[in-house]
Structure 1
Amino acid sequence: MVLTVGAGAVVGLVLNSDKRRDPFEEEAVAADPNSVVVTKKDLQALLRGHTEALNAGDLKAYTAIFESKTAGLIQQQTRVFNNLRKLPLTQMSYQTLQQQGRTQDSFGRGVTFTLDVAFVHQFEGVDLRPVSEWYRWTITKSGVDAPLRVTKVGGAPAPLGESKTVYYPGPWDIWPSVAVVKTERAIVLAHPSMAAQAERIAPIAERAAVNDLNFVAENGQRGEAVPKGFVVALAKGKGQLGNLFRQTKATEAGVSIPMPTWSGSPTGVKIGASRVVMDVTSPFFDTSEGIAEIFRHEFAHSAMASLDSGKFDLLGLDNWVVEGFAEYVANRGSAISANIRYDEGRAYLAGQLPEPFRGRIPDNISWDVQGMTGVNYLMGHLAMRLIEERYGERKLVDFVAAHYRGDESAAALQKVLGVGEAQFQRQWAGYVRAQLG
């Protein structure tokens, strides 16, 4: 069995980042004029100037904080600057998160330490709230009167979870240039070598966005907690898929990555945006309908993500609800026999898969058992179809929304549908047999 740490775990920790102990709150600044000291005020001034340079389009000032003797650093940060200036962002700023290491020396020697920095940003017309990507900078001050210099830039390590970093790297960090295709409800980002493909894909993404957003709105989910569109980055292969807005081993064809609102929200929206990454080498991209299906699936995740309560949970939301709902939206209106996993589902009932069918909806611990992940998606999908057929789409969306907002799935079944978990399991098992038998 594979135990997957839920995305909610990292989300919960990021949401609480502003509650970290201020590393300078107990700092005693030495009175000796020969001491080398870096204060909180110094770091705030450094980041404020960096922010102002980016927003003003002043490349020289933006790169001035980086050590020119570090090979490739100025070139790297020039690329970041140029890429960010291309993007439809309504705000950009750099904020301090956490400092580690010695920031003063009483003997006049230089100091070197690390500073975790949040790049706070918001895509125009798409992101509900500002979100952040976390960098780790190495900073030096070589003497009493020396300026601060950044000598290394990378991603801040994630405290736990599958990703090694916190929403790093963005495409602007690693691509030589960013091709941007904007529709009314989608912003598609691509490597320059894939710019033409992005142009072809963008209209399909737009239609999928309209489909999903209209569906959730027609079924009661609208207003400030529902995004107006989505940001998509195109990747070529699993290696790239796992190296955009995260650093992990990727196995999916696409992924929706929820990003917490920066420093809270007066409206209580915990998830301020999502980033959708698509592997264009997957079989879904062989046909226009396949592309549309995977976009509908991932956009369904993103459309509901901002309803997330953001509470810490090691395993996260129940996969059978989250993935089942996305599969339902992606395949809404199609016969179950047309599902790409239909034959696998029939094999499951016939006892031909690694695990036998026991009449229980798969839980998160067993979700990724080898040879079972695909059919588990189908099992979740069938649960959503059962709810829709018995209770209607409005109740289906209400049930899923209740789970995102913090109710355990069993509690949401009782509250929204008026059915206990054991009874629903029996209904579901009979429904699966009837659909696949």
Structure 2
Amino acid sequence: MKLLPVAAGILILALSACSAAEGASATPSTSPDLLEYSAPPQTAYEKAADLLDDQAQAMLDGNEQKWLAAIDPGKPALVAQYRAMFESLHTLGVANFGYRQKNLRSKPSSPKIEMATTIEYCMSACGLGSVDPPTPSVHQYVTVETVAGQQRITAMRVEQSKDNLDPVPWEEKDLVVRSGKRVIVAGPHSEASNLDKVLAAAEQAATLNDRFAAIEENPQTRYRVYVADAKAWKRWFGKAGTNGAVGYAYNIGGPDTEVVLRMDELRRSKQDLISVVKHEMGHVVTLSDLNTQNDDDMWLSEGVAEYIGEYPKAATQSLRMAVVRASGKRLTTIAQPALADDASIVAANVYYGFSHLAVDCMAKTYGEKKLFDFVKVKMREGFSYDDASRKVYGKPFKTVDKTCVARIRNQV
């Protein structure tokens, strides 16, 4: 019984507390201010990466002053090199440009930042990054330091490798450029006197190749032809120039394929120059913007380029025919296996001659339009020879092969 008052007292106390709370005015509590986030200061590497991104945007904006602002003004030779790159790329018609990789080669907080950079670019409309086919890329080793309170590029060298494009012509300091209606021609100062002659031949070749490009559904915005002296021939595009060749078409990536001419072998004959330019530009319209190229298609690729290079002459009028006939080779199939990399000049002439005869046979037998449709379906769309032949010619490839082998044997 004595516990009741205690219990009642507790209850009353609780009620009294409630009553007091009900009668009191509520006083809002104040919470402490939220802490504002403060990002850590950028490292020297992060600032250098931003510097390169801003410089790339200046290239796309056509802002030469901002492009050069990234360079140490106390290094006049370096400034001249970057000015030449800017002018060359814009004259060549650069469509996209960016530093896609900036691999650090020093401590991120070091006052002297060294980076192995990968520049992705293209001369036709394209995206950068993970695209298919991959865009062209070059590699430069860049040093960035603080100069007068600002980060600047203080050194740059081109990273050369047999497996890469470096050096590309626009990385050279002495590139001279000529622009025509359909073609851009460029070369070192040593070849400046030949550029107008090459441009005239290339403009003529563009008219012909544009017609075939329409059939291939591969129209070209502009053609680019680089005129190499002996030194550039051995350097450009990862040392792609070989001793036995006088020109090549190089698919550098994305939609871009570049033509390179070995001018010391072509300046003596105007007709040789015209034929080689047409031939290599023929590769541009048939092979550019492809994901893969098959060595088994070499006879067709070179045959159609020969057809364009010698156009409108028949294959039997080609200068290679004398070598073909002298070889004594008896053709068993027009689909010759790929020419060996170490093949002799004579063997190459025989191979190109027979390839030209094969393509010429298909043009004469089934029509030129169907020939280029066959090239498109086989090389650009990836059909087998038999499927492409049935689709375009309405016959199995073995029938086409047999017909053309018989024709070529009679011609040779």
Query: TM range, normalised to the smaller chain?
Result: 0.7 to 0.9
1:176-325 counterparts in 2 under 5 A? Answer: 176-180=174-178, 182-217=179-214, 220-222=215-217, 225-237=218-230, 239-250=231-242, 251-261=244-254, 272-283=255-266, 285-306=267-288, 308-311=289-292, 315-316=294-295, 318-325=297-304
Q: 2:367 aligns with which of 361, 376, 392?
A: 392
Offset at 1:206? 1.1
Q: Quick one: structure 1 residues 357 and 201, their matched pair in 2 at CA, closer, same or farther if it must change by over 3 Å? A: same
Q: Quick one: structure 1 residues 170 and 249, their matched pair in 2 at CA, closer, same or farther if it must change by over 3 Å? A: closer
Answering whether residue 99 of structure 2 is matched by residue 99 of structure 1, we say no
Offset at 1:345? 0.8
- Report the identity percentage: 18
Per the normalisation by structure 1, the TM-score is: 0.71
Answering whether residue 387 of structure 2 is matched by residue 378 of structure 1, we say no
Q: Quick one: structure 1 residues 366 and 190, their matched pair in 2 at CA, closer, same or farther if it must change by over 3 Å? A: closer
Unaligned runs of 5+ in 1: 1-30, 158-162, 262-271
Mapped partners of 2:75, 2:390: distance in 1: 60
Residue deviations 1:219-265, cap 9 Å, x none? Answer: x344xx3114411111233x42343344234232111222333xxxx
Q: Secondary structure at the match of 2:158?
A: strand
- Where is the helix percentage greater, Structure 1 or Structure 2? 2
Q: Quick one: structure 1 residues 338 and 94, their matched pair in 2 at CA, closer, same or farther if it must change by over 3 Å? A: same
Equivalenced residues, count: 364
Residue deviations 1:359-401, cap 9 Å, x none? Answer: 5632126475334222111121111111112211111001101
1:20-419 counterparts in 2 under 5 A? Answer: 38-39=45-46, 43-52=49-58, 55-59=61-65, 61-66=66-71, 72-84=77-89, 87=91, 89=93, 91=95, 93-97=97-101, 99=103, 101=105, 104=108, 112-118=114-120, 120-122=121-123, 127=124, 129=126, 132-139=136-143, 147=151, 149=153, 151-155=155-159, 157=161, 163-166=162-165, 168-180=166-178, 182-217=179-214, 220-222=215-217, 225-237=218-230, 239-250=231-242, 251-261=244-254, 272-283=255-266, 285-306=267-288, 308-311=289-292, 315-316=294-295, 318-348=297-327, 350=328, 357-359=331-333, 361-364=335-338, 366=340, 369-370=343-344, 371-402=346-377, 403-419=379-395
Q: Secondary structure at the match of 1:326?
A: helix
Q: Secondary structure at the match of 1:179?
A: strand
Per the normalisation by structure 2, the TM-score is: 0.74
Q: Quick one: structure 1 residues 141 and 48, their matched pair in 2 at CA, closer, same or farther if it must change by over 3 Å? A: same
Offset at 1:344? 1.1
Does the aligned pair in 2 maintain the 1:325–1:384 contact within 8 Å?
yes
State the one-letter code of the partner of 1:173.
E
Mapped partners of 1:290, 1:324: distance in 2: 17
Offset at 1:336? 3.1
Q: Quick one: structure 1 residues 273 and 339, their matched pair in 2 at CA, closer, same or farther if it must change by over 3 Å? A: same
Offset at 1:406? 2.0
Mapped partners of 1:291, 1:279: distance in 2: 10
Mapped partners of 2:113, 2:92: distance in 1: 38
Residue deviations 1:286-335, cap 9 Å, x none? Answer: 333322211211111112234x5414x5x556111111001112223324
State the one-letter code of the partner of 1:117.
I
Q: Quick one: structure 1 residues 253 and 138, their matched pair in 2 at CA, closer, same or farther if it must change by over 3 Å? A: same
Offset at 1:63? 4.0
Q: Secondary structure at the match of 1:243?
A: helix
Q: Quick one: structure 1 residues 236 and 103, their matched pair in 2 at CA, closer, same or farther if it must change by over 3 Å? A: same
Q: Quick one: structure 1 residues 236 and 88, their matched pair in 2 at CA, closer, same or farther if it must change by over 3 Å? A: closer
Mapped partners of 1:152, 1:416: distance in 2: 52
Mapped partners of 1:367, 1:89: distance in 2: 33
User: For residue 433 of structure 1, what is the aligned residue in structure 2?
Assistant: 409
Q: Which has the larger radius of gyration?
A: 2
Q: Quick one: structure 1 residues 75 and 317, their matched pair in 2 at CA, closer, same or farther if it must change by over 3 Å? A: farther
Q: Quick one: structure 1 residues 148 and 335, their matched pair in 2 at CA, closer, same or farther if it must change by over 3 Å? A: closer
State the one-letter code of the partner of 1:364.
A
1 or 2 for the larger relative contact order (CA 8 Å, sep ≥6)?
Answer: 1
